[in-house]
Amino acid sequence: MAKYLILYNREACVGAFACTAIAPKDWAYGKDEKADLKRATLNKSTGLWERVIDEEDLAGNQASAEACPVRAITIKKIADTSSKKRS
């Protein structure tokens, strides 16, 4: 199964909340009127919030990234474990 990395630039967020409407399981309304990526970790070297997801969570998050008016959400494929090694 493939793994994906969500990169979220919270500083760029303008609070349109398209992500929370599309994928409420993964995105929440922040107290400061910016979106929060649930279960994410701040990468202090890049300033981006990061979270690894499985392929089953890709569609909603990809739609959220595409709907974001400031493109604050990026998703990158980081692994594909679907192929088995042959002996």
Q: Which pTM does this prediction carry?
A: 0.90
Look up residue 66 and give its two tokens. 């595409």
> Residue 34's Cα: distance from chain center in Å?
14
Domains within the chain, CATH numbers bracketed: 2-80 (3.30.70.20)
3-13 residue pLDDT tens:
999 999 999 99
Helix (H), strand (E) counts: the chain: 2, 6
Say whether 9 sits in a helix, a strand or coil: coil
Q: Could you give the dihedral angle defined by the CA atoms of residues 46, 20, 13 and 43, in that order, rounded to the nearest 10 degrees?
A: -10
pLDDT in tens, 48-86: 999 999 999 999 999 999 999 999 999 999 988 765 554
